[in-house]
A and B are shown apart, each in its own frame.
Chain A
């Protein structure tokens, strides 16, 4: 039977309907970075730890005595000291539901965790496989004077770069607050996330050269911590002169800014993290 391709007012033939694909279109879902396809940029695709890569940087060029001391001595000591007989996993303390018996409760923001403001993850007993260790250090420098004098932002970032040997990320003001002269998006300093060799280098400088020479430094507060094993403390702008990178060139750095140093650990609570940091030589006080 042949179809008649004459359009009439009374009906529209099936054959005249535009067809559609039942296959879902994917061309706009797959992200393709076109620069990666460019043959002239081929050398950027080489992994960074390959010596032929333009980003190759040799890291293991000397002995890492901080890391070695941890693996050789501290690790087994920590395991023995944090061992608890017949210890069970303490369940997490998450935010709680208000109930499901009314739509008002259902869609209400969740209740605070039991007996606390902040949530806490589960605490597993320390075994040979989860001995707490320092996983990273964040050095954060917020300069509020940079809101008034924007060039201080550059100086602050340079200071962080000098201290840590890593290029800092730019920090921006997050909101508008008239009383603090805050404008959203204004550059206010820098921060770096240290891991590996850079981290141990910074830690050894801090423990052996800087902290012992600060006269006013009594120790990290025993109350410091975010309940998840990350300890934070601060250094003032007067303490910066004790860093050996700055000590000899103090006249080059007339506008120093203080630091917030967060030591991130794999410990499941703050008390274990404090024990770990005390093994590294950080003093703790109640004051």
Chain B
């Protein structure tokens, strides 16, 4: 937009004009909010569109389709494994029911509030010196 001319500034009672100096009609607090709003707004933040040559586009698409194929195969294999695991759980429970009803009772008993241990962590690039505590017993519960 057009530059607004500087308003007369009074310093020590004398008005001084500064020609062409850009002044803001806002106080610093408002300016801060305007800045925050400009951070949220999309204007001028769009990264430049990659200008790829035809060869590069073909390369990129080939790599991406190969990557898609790879992930699809991986997912299918994971699902296959889960299906097999589920089937073996069912088979084991059926077997247990016939061979040992007492053990079957124990196996089919469900905890009311099933929680994973809080000590469980997501794997990291820098694991602790003792990554797995083999004789872990869990927190000691106090009896009331």
Contacts and interface: CB of A to CB of B under 8 A. Distances in A.
Interface of A: 51-52, 54, 56, 60, 65-66, 69, 71, 75-77, 79-85, 127-129, 131, 151, 154-155, 157-158, 161, 167, 204, 207-208, 222, 271, 274-275, 278-279, 281, 283-284
Contact of A154 (B40, B49, B86, B110): B40
B89 A80 contact: yes
Contacts of B93: 83, 85
Contacts of A54: 46, 49
Contacts of A69: 122-123
Q: Is the interface of A mostly helix, strand, loop or mixed?
A: helix
Given A76-B81, A275-B114, A279-B116, 6 more contacts: A54-B49, A80-B85, A129-B79, A278-B115, A279-B120, A281-B122
Contact of B85 (A76, A81, A155): A76
Given A65-B124, A279-B120, A158 B110 contact: no
Interface size range on B against A: 35 or more
B40 A278 contact: no
A281 B123 CA distance: 12
Contacts, number: 91
A145 to B, nearest CB: 14
Interface in B20-57: 30, 33, 36-37, 39-40, 42, 46, 49-50, 52, 57
A19 to B, nearest CB: 53
A208 B85 contact: no
A129 B107 CA distance: 22
B113 A222 contact: yes
B50 A79 contact: no
Contacts of A155: 33, 36
Interface in B111-137: 113-116, 118, 120-124
Contacts of A278: 114-116, 118
Contacts of B50: 51, 56
A52 B115 contact: no
Contacts of B89: 79-80, 83
A79 B46 CA distance: 43
A62 to B, nearest CB: 11
B82 interface: yes
Closest A-B pairs by Cβ, 3 of them: A128-B86, A128-B82, A278-B115
A138 B101 CA distance: 46
9 contacts: A51-B50, A52-B52, A56-B50, A69-B122, A76-B85, A83-B93, A84-B110, A85-B104, A128-B85
Nearest to B84: A128
B120 A51 contact: no
Contact of B114 (A71, A81, A131): A81
B75 to A, nearest CB: 9
